[in-house]
Structure 1
């Protein structure tokens, strides 16, 4: 066992101790896990794994392996040989019947394994990728975690695997990727919007979602609020209590993921039939806690939810037809007096939005941008911390590759805008020769924001000069950027907002440019760039 696992990591020490006590069948499982040296398990490997799991009992393995995985330290490196064994143990979880606890454990493992080591990258992409593979094999519980991780993970390799898994599920079901993401959101046992009640021998635990945060409220048989569950509940219902607390943590993570997903929808501008939107958003026990605090449009008419119904800004109740078209309201498309009226409506009804919508920053063309015609220099000339910038824009749906000292060219940060036939480019390049041990440059400097037709050749920069040019072949001609005055105002505003957020937070120094980031919730969210 010592040759397979290096002692010194808590989880590895526990595996060694457990296997010594559990006997030959468990030793054979760990031996098999140590052969997980390829990106995916072979058919032969899976057949052997299935045989060994039958010997120890799939449910027994699930419980034991979950305990081992919970001991993996997200703040410490994983020895490469140990990472191979860990990958094999994770693969084995994909061979047993799906269970919510398994999916939860694997989702946590992805985030832990991707916590960055300064200047080097994630602690173990190998482990994170193995967990994504296992989640892709776990049916609905795994799909829910993949949907959550798609809005959290910023490491390019693992994010690519997550997207591929979600696309594969969509193809298998004959649905769109958006449909799969919407239908995979669990209800977590909520029996009404934002509420679930559990009873423990007369004591009641009420799970409520308030302003996007799950809370557990305990009451005694007389209805008085308790500070914590009584000792009798902790002793007599330990397993149920642990599951309930785990559900609360899961709900918190899923709400953050759904909030980010909704926030990114402004650019894609999706539309739903009212009957579909009502089921997936307005009345969904979890998502409705976010959706009911947003402003929507029904056949173009802005509406909000208050006092049990959809209402106009004048509080007139609206009852849409099943085939009415629903979309997200954005202030860039609306008159100033309408935006102000909705801000007042939200305040009057005591609604705190999950993210800025009525108070969202709107970027309009400046005189300089009109004069420059095809590019914006609004955020040019700023020195940024590259890793933080990379994490921020990736979380906002941009494609960005860390710039390394060995690169023969640099790519811009890009965001695909397929619904509009466009691609946004934010030109950045290293500021100097300072790098981390991995070879990644510590800082980058910003340049122009441009928009191109989606199929136009991508721009690349020369490492010596930092100057960007389109990468075209001998028979190709460069494609001109799209003039800024032809970019839809909503798209222009959202792209500039993304850039402003990333520059404002990752800039070297404390000054912010073009955007207010004093909101503690916004600052906290933007600093959550660990994965």
Structure 2
């Protein structure tokens, strides 16, 4: 006789007791439910008076009798959970399922014999394939039971029941419930485990992914006591649910970590997180045949849902620590988890959100600094809202603005004037910021002479300090890039600060002092404002006059949109004459002033309308500039979108209308349109939600919004793609490609033209290079070439034959030694690279280019 037959024989129960009463309860429940709804799909009965006043007040044993009654009735007259005709039987069974769920999830004392009755009623040999464990709310039942068995082993009756349940779960295949089934089996294993002193059950990572084997080998490689405590931590981590941990969760985790030892915990958790940071997605190709056709799709898996919960719990536990290494690792992990998997989304958003929580709740401001960095890298709109919320909460907690909290959070890395020194044995290491995201480490001997590489003695005897120096270098490079982008966006706000704050937080700050060194600032007094730039600890105007800034009280970043053309030209001439490199475009920033046409249209601008953009590229650019934008596709409501940019300092929201370009079924395998067309730009008052006349929009937000949109068009337009026409593109829209590729110059291109006009005469190719209208004209040895200053596309004389040259991003930019007054215009570098190459066209060896030139 098998174990299941023994259970049936052992359990008689009182099958008929109270059945008539239970039938009456169900009838009353149905009548009351119909008073408010006729929809019986997964009904809720917890607020019905039948439950509140009668069933909910029953004693424990009667509730279990009623649950068993419901199970047996369902099994006797239903074939499946949701299918079949929606008749009286269906409606009553849905109410029975609802009662089972409500009873199992409410406070209930369950003995071993009770568990036996319930399991036997469910798996009675006739209905085992009709319903799954989730239909019976078994997770709720076992949660109740396990809480009551926390400190002792289960009795024999419960053990037999759990063994039957385990057998049925293991024999059931249900891919969409795999996570829930695995968790339920883990709970059963925990209940069946003999809880005796010195007997420790191993708890490891459960998910089916590439992280599990590596992570489990790390845990299994620990010493016994350490490994046993990690089993406890993993079990705790696997219970991580919700958006943030409870105080109880963190307290319980802290007790185990304290027992383990903080350093040991950090060492192992760092190893686990580093494994995940370096983990690549597993890509599987699936093929299916349907109606004679083969369909292929690619599935990319990074982290299973089971391991997502476990890692989320471990990340939460790290909110107990506030050291640089932990915060840096959590930030890197968050960055990795929000990395997008094509056609799927963020790799592991659950773990990523846990990283944001931990950074926001770390002591001090290092975590906020990392949130500020992530805000500039992450593209998902909902994630950006979470980061913004955390930064606002931190600002409110410290009684400062969000700008100020981000200022305060910037580490100076003990830099002085962009440098830091370490004494390492007989050598001195000097870290020097060389540019945005770039720094160098120079090794000096005792006599001050430079050592070309890291000294061998330093590698051998000072490896720990060497690693620390290199880590600082990475952090400095990361910080200069982050702060450059932050100050660039700050130009939108026209923020004013006090002079003393400016000197303390910017000028005298080790890192921000370098970032702001070549920027132009407004110094504001009672009745005068003057612009100045720092040069060798002095403040100089565009005409070279020295300024005593102490006579001014307020400071702001200078924006060329609110200056005259003459003032802007003076600053541009000053930068070029003194070879000043700005970290982003400030003096040479494109300015967008209101046109006559926009005054006439009054509430909207068509300046950036009627362009064809590559949708994925456009959305990535928009999100990178802090716009809210989404991908649209061939589904209901997927034919248009409105990208928007909040400008809170002005109570404005800029909007850019986007429409799907439905031509030749130009969408990818997920239904997302390959191309979109552009429409109007508008401004909305965020307080009244009304359209604002363009003439009433301040110059700075107007110029900045249009500058962003010009960037989207300038980069994502199909007119910029030299291969679009030849590779097919959209035949009906080739005229647009031709018009954009060689048409009028945008503001960005006009700016390039101005820079090139002053730059080309100083280049080696000056004698064969000129600027003519919209083109940089290069006279090569074989032909003459016209490089369009906007699109960077090329025509060849005498017949304006198109020359297709695709820039090789893997090759080093050969314009690196050419002085440019700002960083960040890739198009300018492409034009110069092409000009240098074409000036020596007789030395080109690439057959894809020479075949066109010699045609």
TM-score range, shorter chain: 0.7 to 0.9
- Is the Cα–Cα contact under 8 Å of residues 627 and 643 in structure 2 kept in the other structure? yes
Partner of 1:498: 708
Residue in structure 2 matching 1:51, options 255, 261, 275? 255
Residue in structure 1 matching 2:351, options 109, 127, 148? 127
1:317-336 Cα shifts (integer Å, max 9, x gaps): 21223761111111121122
> CA shift at 1:488, angstroms?
2.1
Alpha-carbon distance between aligned partners in 2 of 1:155 and 1:45, rounded to the nearest angstrom: 29
- Is the Cα–Cα contact under 8 Å of residues 417 and 454 in structure 1 kept in the other structure? no
In terms of mean alpha carbon deviation, does 55-64 or 172-181 score higher?
Answer: 55-64
Alpha-carbon distance between aligned partners in 2 of 1:244 and 1:273, rounded to the nearest angstrom: 35
Partner of 2:482: 257
Residue in structure 2 matching 1:34, options 226, 238, 252? 238
Partner of 2:580: 351
> CA shift at 1:406, angstroms?
5.2
Residue 401 and residue 370 in structure 1: after superposition, are their counterparts in 2 closer, same or farther (change >3 A)?
Answer: same
Residue aligned with 1:24, SS: helix
Alpha-carbon distance between aligned partners in 1 of 2:477 and 2:412, rounded to the nearest angstrom: 13
Partner of 2:651: 421
Partner of 2:686: 454
> CA shift at 1:8, angstroms?
5.2
> CA shift at 1:170, angstroms?
1.0
In terms of mean alpha carbon deviation, does 124-133 or 425-434 score higher?
Answer: 425-434
> CA shift at 1:340, angstroms?
1.6
Partner of 1:471: none
Residue in structure 2 matching 1:14, options 214, 223, 245? 214
Partner of 1:475: none
**How high is the TM-score relative to the length of structure 2?**
0.56
Greater RCO (CA < 8 Å, at least 6 residues apart): 1
- Aligned residue pair count: 500
Residue 171 and residue 230 in structure 1: after superposition, are their counterparts in 2 closer, same or farther (change >3 A)?
Answer: same
1:105-141 Cα shifts (integer Å, max 9, x gaps): 1111121112111122111111211111111121222
- Is the Cα–Cα contact under 8 Å of residues 114 and 128 in structure 1 kept in the other structure? yes
> CA shift at 1:404, angstroms?
5.5
> CA shift at 1:365, angstroms?
2.7
Residue in structure 2 matching 1:379, options 591, 598, 608? 608
- Is the Cα–Cα contact under 8 Å of residues 205 and 218 in structure 1 kept in the other structure? yes
Partner of 2:206: 5
1:90 and 2:315 equivalent? yes
**How high is the TM-score relative to the length of structure 1?**
0.88
Residue 331 and residue 138 in structure 1: after superposition, are their counterparts in 2 closer, same or farther (change >3 A)?
Answer: same
Gaps of 5+ in 2: 1-201, 282-301, 722-739, 750-789, 793-821, 828-855
Residue in structure 2 matching 1:488, options 698, 707, 724? 698
Residue 93 and residue 442 in structure 1: after superposition, are their counterparts in 2 closer, same or farther (change >3 A)?
Answer: farther
Residue 508 and residue 128 in structure 1: after superposition, are their counterparts in 2 closer, same or farther (change >3 A)?
Answer: farther
1:508 and 2:732 equivalent? no
> CA shift at 1:98, angstroms?
0.8
Residue aligned with 2:613, SS: strand
Residue in structure 2 matching 1:225, options 450, 453, 478? 450
Mapping of 1:284-303 within 5 angstroms?
284-299=509-524, 300-303=529-532
In terms of mean alpha carbon deviation, does 30-39 or 297-306 score higher?
Answer: 30-39
Alpha-carbon distance between aligned partners in 2 of 1:197 and 1:396, rounded to the nearest angstrom: 36
In terms of mean alpha carbon deviation, does 222-231 or 328-337 score higher?
Answer: 222-231
1:163 and 2:388 equivalent? yes
Mapping of 1:326-475 within 5 angstroms?
326-403=555-632, 408=637, 411-432=641-662, 440-457=672-689
Partner of 1:100: 324
Partner of 1:473: none
> CA shift at 1:392, angstroms?
1.8
- Is the Cα–Cα contact under 8 Å of residues 74 and 113 in structure 1 kept in the other structure? no
> CA shift at 1:15, angstroms?
2.1
Residue 441 and residue 50 in structure 1: after superposition, are their counterparts in 2 closer, same or farther (change >3 A)?
Answer: farther
Residue in structure 1 matching 2:824, options 508, 517, 521? 521
- Is the Cα–Cα contact under 8 Å of residues 34 and 85 in structure 1 kept in the other structure? yes
1:148 and 2:351 equivalent? no
Residue 245 and residue 5 in structure 1: after superposition, are their counterparts in 2 closer, same or farther (change >3 A)?
Answer: farther
Alpha-carbon distance between aligned partners in 2 of 1:126 and 1:60, rounded to the nearest angstrom: 25
Alpha-carbon distance between aligned partners in 1 of 2:435 and 2:221, rounded to the nearest angstrom: 48
Mapping of 1:289-328 within 5 angstroms?
289-299=514-524, 300-321=529-550, 324-328=553-557
